[in-house]
C-alpha cells in the first residue's frame, strides 16, 4: 500500500504591534478605537500599580503570598475586552487586568490574598469565577460552564486562562478532550510565560509550540504575541466567533513573559538569566501601547503624569477599602456555607455547640428540642 499523508497542518502566529513599534495596518486598522485603546492602557496602568502596592503589602506583613501580574496584562485584558458581559471569565491568578476591566472591584483581589473569603464573593452578574490557585482545575470548570450554556441553548462562551505548566496537568487534557469531543464552546487561553515556577518552557513542552497540543484534540488553534494587545484582540475575536457559530472549542497560545517572581515566596534570580528578563522588559505591553499612542498623537507626557496621579489615588483607596473592611462575624462561617442553612447548622450557630450530634444521625437534636 502506498504511504499517504494522514494529517498536514500549520499554526499561524499573529503579531500586529511589535516591540519596535511596527504596526500591521492590514490587521490592526480599526481593530481597537482610539478611545478604547486609551481606556485599555489606563486599565493596564492601574493593574501594574496595584502589583507594586501588593508587593509592598506582602513585604510589610499586611498581606499573604501574592503573584504579580506584570508583563502579562495584555492577555486577560484583550480577552475581557472582546468577550460579552454574559460570557464566562474563568481565571487562575494572573488575570487581574481582565477581571478589573470586567468590573471586579480590585479590593476583592487584595482580600483574597489577605485570606479573607469575602474576596471570593463575586457579583454573579459579572460572570466571573473566583481565583483558582490549584494548577489546571479551572479549565474543567470553564468547560462545565460552557456546556451548561450550550445545554440551555444560549450563545454564551467561557474563556479560561492557564500557564504553560498547566498543560502538563491531567485536568488540562481532560478538559480539552471533553470540550472537543462534545463540541463545547470554550476558549482555552494559555499564557505561555516561559516559566512554571522554576521549570523552563523548553523542559515543560518539547514541541515548538504549546498551541500544537490542541491539534491532538482536533481543535482549532493559533499562537499570538501575548504582549501585543492588538494581536490578542484579533485572536479573541476569531476565537469567540468560531465558538459561537460552530459551538466548538478554540485554543490560543499567548506568548508572553513573567517579569516578576512566580510569587512573593519565590526568588527568580536563582534560576533565570537577567539578560533574558531584560530582553522581555523591552517587550513590555504597557511600554508598547504608550509609545504607539504617542506616535499617533493621542497620548503625551502630560496625560501620562495625570494618569500616574490618578492611579496613585485609586490604589490608595483600594488598599483602604481592603484593610478597612469590618471584621467578619463568627456567624459568617455558617451563613456563607449554604444558600439555605440546614437545620443542624442552624442549631450549631445558635448554640455554638456540636455535642448534640452523635455518631448516629438519628441522634441529631432538632432546634425545638435542643436546650443549648
CA 41 to chain centre: 18
Contact by Cβ (8 Å): 201, 168: no
SS3 content of the chain, % helix, strand, coil (to 5): 50, 10, 40
Contact by Cβ (8 Å): 259, 280: yes
- Catalytic site includes residue 173: no
What is the distance between the alpha carbons of residues 28 and 72, in angstroms, rounded to a whole number?
Answer: 20
217: nearest Cα among 33, 4, 7, 53: 7
Angle between helices 285-296 and 229-246 (to 10 degrees): 100
Q: Which of 59, 271, 281, 353 is catalytic?
A: 271
Task: Tell me phi and psi for residue 129, to 5 degrees.
Answer: -95, 155
Strand 250-255 with 220-225, pairing:
parallel
Q: Which of 258, 283, 288, 290 is catalytic?
A: 258
Q: Which of 262, 283, 288, 290 is catalytic?
A: 262
- Catalytic site includes residue 262: yes
- Catalytic site includes residue 248: no
What is the distance between the alpha carbons of residues 270 and 288, in angstroms, rounded to a whole number?
Answer: 28
What is the distance between the alpha carbons of residues 108 and 93, in angstroms, rounded to a whole number?
Answer: 13
C-alpha cell at 123: 457579583
CA 12 to chain centre: 23
Q: Is 316 helix (H, G, I), strand (E, B) or coil?
A: helix
53: nearest Cα among 2, 124, 113, 127: 113
What is the distance between the alpha carbons of residues 365 and 157, in angstroms, rounded to a whole number?
Answer: 46
Task: Tell me phi and psi for residue 159, to 5 degrees.
Answer: -120, 125
What is the distance between the alpha carbons of residues 239 and 250, in angstroms, rounded to a whole number?
Answer: 6
What is the distance between the alpha carbons of residues 362 and 346, in angstroms, rounded to a whole number?
Answer: 17
Q: Which residues are catalytic?
A: 258, 262, 271
Amino acid at each position: 500500500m502506498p504511504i499517504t499523508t494522514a494529517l498536514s497542518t500549520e499554526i499561524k502566529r499573529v503579531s500586529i504591534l511589535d516591540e519596535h513599534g511596527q504596526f500591521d495596518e492590514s490587521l490592526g486598522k480599526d481593530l481597537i478605537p482610539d478611545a478604547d485603546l486609551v481606556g485599555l492602557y489606563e486599565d493596564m496602568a492601574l493593574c501594574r500599580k496595584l502589583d507594586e502596592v501588593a508587593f509592598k503589602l506582602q513585604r510589610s506583613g499586611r498581606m499573604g503570598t501574592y503573584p504579580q501580574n506584570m508583563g502579562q496584562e495584555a492577555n486577560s485584558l484583550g480577552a475581557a475586552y472582546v468577550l460579552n458581559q454574559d460570557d464566562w471569565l474563568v481565571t487562575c491568578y494572573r488575570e487581574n487586568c481582565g477581571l478589573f476591566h470586567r468590573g471586579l472591584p480590585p479590593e476583592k483581589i487584595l482580600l483574597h490574598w489577605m485570606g479573607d473569603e469575602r474576596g471570593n464573593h463575586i457579583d454573579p452578574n459579572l460572570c466571573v469565577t473566583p481565583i483558582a490557585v490549584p494548577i489546571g482545575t479551572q479549565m474543567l470548570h470553564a468547560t462545565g460552564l460552557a456546556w451548561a450554556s450550550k445545554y440551555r441553548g444560549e450563545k454564551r462562551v467561557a474563556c479560561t486562562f492557564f500557564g504553560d505548566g498547566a498543560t502538563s496537568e491531567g485536568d488540562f487534557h481532560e478538559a480539552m478532550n471533553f470540550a472537543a469531543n462534545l463540541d463545547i464552546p470554550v476558549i482555552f487561553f494559555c499564557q505561555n510565560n516561559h516559566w512554571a515556577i522554576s521549570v523552563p518552557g523548553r523542559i515543560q513542552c518539547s514541541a515548538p509550540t504549546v498551541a500544537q497540543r490542541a491539534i491532538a484534540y482536533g481543535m482549532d488553534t493559533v499562537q499570538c504575541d501575548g504582549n501585543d494587545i492588538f494581536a490578542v484582540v484579533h485572536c479573541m475575536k476569531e476565537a469567540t466567533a468560531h465558538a459561537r457559530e460552530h459551538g466548538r472549542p478554540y485554543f490560543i497560545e499567548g506568548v508572553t513573559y513573567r517579569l516578576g517572581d512566580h510569587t512573593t515566596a519565590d526568588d527568580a534570580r536563582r534560576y533565570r538569566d537577567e539578560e533574558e528578563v531584560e530582553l522581555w522588559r523591552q517587550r513590555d505591553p504597557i511600554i508598547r501601547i504608550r509609545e504607539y499612542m504617542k506616535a499617533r498623537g493621542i497620548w503625551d507626557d502630560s496625560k501620562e503624569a495625570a494618569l500616574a496621579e490618578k492611579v496613585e489615588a485609586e490604589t490608595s483607596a483600594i488598599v483602604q477599602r481592603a484593610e478597612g473592611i469590618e471584621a467578619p462575624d463568627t456567624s459568617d462561617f455558617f451563613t456563607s456555607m449554604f444558600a439555605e442553612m440546614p437545620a443542624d447548622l442552624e442549631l450549631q450557630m445558635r448554640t455554638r455547640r456540636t455535642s448534640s450530634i452523635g455518631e448516629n444521625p438519628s441522634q441529631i437534636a432538632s432546634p425545638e428540642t435542643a436546650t443549648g
